[in-house]
Amino acid sequence: MHNPYWRSRLANTPIVTYVLLAITVAVFIGETLMGGSTNNLVLVAFGARWNPLIVAGQWWRFVTPAFVHIGWMHIIVNGISLYYLGAICERIFGHWRFAVIYLVSAIAGNVAGYVFAPDSLSAGASTAIFGLMGAFLMLGDSFRDNAMVRLLSQQFAMLAVINLVFNLFSSGVDITGHIGGLLGGFLVAGAVGAPQLGQMSKARQIIMAVVLVFALMALLLLGRH
């Protein structure tokens, strides 16, 4: 029996955000039980970015670091950020577009870290979270006539700048991964569009998709050499 109420409720519930958060928490619990979330061997075992293993063929480490965290403060900050930013982003873009933005941003950030911070062991959802900020920057640029979207975009732009400035004065932070995630989020959000807000130029969407793919390919080739 057709029930528009439940369909509307499902569409407005950030299910993907909750699933991503649940996976992240489950992985952290696993890290803790297996020897601690600050143990490098445990972090690598659970999927942290470690370039020698990527070079050896473990390409999935461009995705898995987004679900691995180093210490309680790390997961608390990223978990809260994912909960709030993810819920807003998912309601605007829809479930599958949000999932694509989150995962592609994580990949973009980890590819950037792979190239520009090759000696670091890296983990955390920050690459993807910066990608969500980048997605809001794209919305502000594409739907600048929408006052609410423009305001949100300005707030997230300020948040991204503040975080990047803090990164400059923080040790052990992969700022290149954050910048990669931010730019990746901007491009992939432009590629998938936001039909709930309005139609975007198809030519622009295609161009942003092509730029994203070629940028990732260029970085991977640079990293290999």
Catalytic residues: 126, 178
Q: How far is CA 45 from the centre of its chain?
A: 21
User: Residue 125 in 3-state DSSP?
Assistant: coil
> What is the rounded CA–CA span in Å between residue 113 and residue 38?
20
> What is the rounded CA–CA span in Å between residue 218 and residue 85?
30
How close are the terminal C-alpha atoms of the chain, in Å? Answer: 59
Rg (CA), the chain: 18
| Residue 171: φ, ψ to 5° | -80, 150
> What is the rounded CA–CA span in Å between residue 219 and residue 181?
13
Long-range contacts of 155-160, Cβ-Cβ distance < 8 Å, separation of 24 or more:
156/85, 156/132, 157/133, 159/133, 160/130, 160/133, 160/134
> What is the rounded CA–CA span in Å between residue 107 and residue 114?
10
> Which pair of structure tokens corresponds to residue 59?
């390409």
H-helix or E-strand containing 211?
helix 202-224
